[in-house]
Structure 1
């Protein structure tokens, strides 16, 4: 049984070893409020001392990538460099991002992130920086130990997050509330498994026309429903703290119903 070093003590869950899955990898399942995903075991470790540029497709073969040297940060400090920089149209898949994770992955334009696992999120897991027509896809994989944001949307376009697992997090998704250049942003979150503790699934700026559509959301370990599903803000371009204006489904900006959220 593989036990990940970055599991936090407050995860009281028992750990049950399961048989090899998929590519024949051993894995562990976390229960009782921790992540319900089957996390893959790393096939090796790669240390990056500088951001790795990706154009085309990088298939990591489920190796664990970690930062070292100048990329050795695992804090929430702003301005860290990413481990991976994805060019417009690039694909990053079958990668485990360990700790230190620095600022994770940056997408310069449209990109695909497939079966990528963040064991301990640093500043952010991934940041999306494309223009207004960019399309970003995150499918499969998971993230845990994100004291703030998992996915940060600074550019424009549409981000689709599907079949993803998140646990022990601040926000799964945030449309930048105070970037100097603002956009209308769209996020689609579907078939995502969420494990408490966590604060917010989605945060959007209604004054810039953002929309969030959620479906097939399963939340575990949150019997008191403390995790907010969709928060609405008035964003700005000045760098000031954005103003929260509401939460919950409204049919216009936060598009979902109670039937789209399942608690276990």
Structure 2
């Protein structure tokens, strides 16, 4: 319990995010010592995963798990708060704690202006096929012991105008799923605030690619946050083997990790 409380007070984000909610521009200023998330307009408890097809606009209500969804641990196999059908959009939602396994995209999906106050198992998991297109735009996440975005299916995930703090990995292409794909991730205009482990983890042996631009890293004076880590993935469930780590100093390898030193800014 103390660890969870401690996580909520640790270093936050340094960014100003302007978002349109259909009611005019709303500006959220996030200071150097603590992230300022939008104020919830109410709280809804979910005892079972909420299925979304079409568009669900949460009106900036906070959604938390209860009963069977009452976990905020790293235990595998938890159910999500939201399950998005192919083509669905989830927007203007605050995901509180307990967050269970966040959001699952079963196909192509859009996640817009969604805020994770304290990531449970993962913030979002992407499960579509090889041609799926996933978009995460706006919003932020903090307090992820391990992963923020988990990519188990195929396709391409694009994350833009997003902020993350106090995290293990911002993005991970599944390293040991029974069915593997060539996966792609695009990060642009993303702010990451230490402590953090890595921005991207991908499987070079399956042809994964990561393209990064407009990345700002804050509070990491020793540059400990890895930019792009490549692994040798497998289909057996075994722990994947790390191949190489690309840093802001080295730049990307041009094949799997695609970024230059000018794409990374430290503050």
TM-score by length of 2: 0.90
Distance in 1, Cα, partners of 2:206 & 2:48: 35
Q: Report if the CA contact (8 A) 2:213-2:259 is conserved.
A: yes
State the match for 2:32 in structure 1. 31
Shift of 1:31: 1.0
Selected match of 1:154 from 143, 152, 155: 152
Aligned ranges 1:135-214 → 2 under 5 Å = 135-214=133-212
Shift of 1:8: 2.8
SS of aligned partner of 2:7: coil
Distance in 1, Cα, partners of 2:41 & 2:181: 40
Alignment of 1:263 with 2:256, yes or no, is no
Q: Report if the CA contact (8 A) 2:8-2:118 is conserved.
A: no
TM-score by length of 1: 0.91
State the match for 2:7 in structure 1. 8
Q: Report if the CA contact (8 A) 1:6-1:119 is conserved.
A: no
Shift of 1:199: 0.2
1:240 to 1:200, Cα distance in 2 relative to 1, 3 A: same
1:27 to 1:189, Cα distance in 2 relative to 1, 3 A: closer
Alignment of 1:245 with 2:243, yes or no, is yes
Shift of 1:39: 1.8
Shift of 1:180: 0.1
Shift of 1:171: 0.2
Structure 2: runs of 5 or more not aligned: 15-19, 247-251
Q: Report if the CA contact (8 A) 1:163-1:192 is conserved.
A: yes
Q: Report if the CA contact (8 A) 1:96-1:117 is conserved.
A: yes
1:12 to 1:131, Cα distance in 2 relative to 1, 3 A: closer
Distance in 1, Cα, partners of 2:51 & 2:7: 31
Q: Report if the CA contact (8 A) 2:11-2:165 is conserved.
A: no
Alignment of 1:122 with 2:123, yes or no, is no
State the match for 2:68 in structure 1. 70
1:154 to 1:89, Cα distance in 2 relative to 1, 3 A: same
Shift of 1:27: 5.8
Shift of 1:51: 0.3
How many pairs align?
Answer: 252
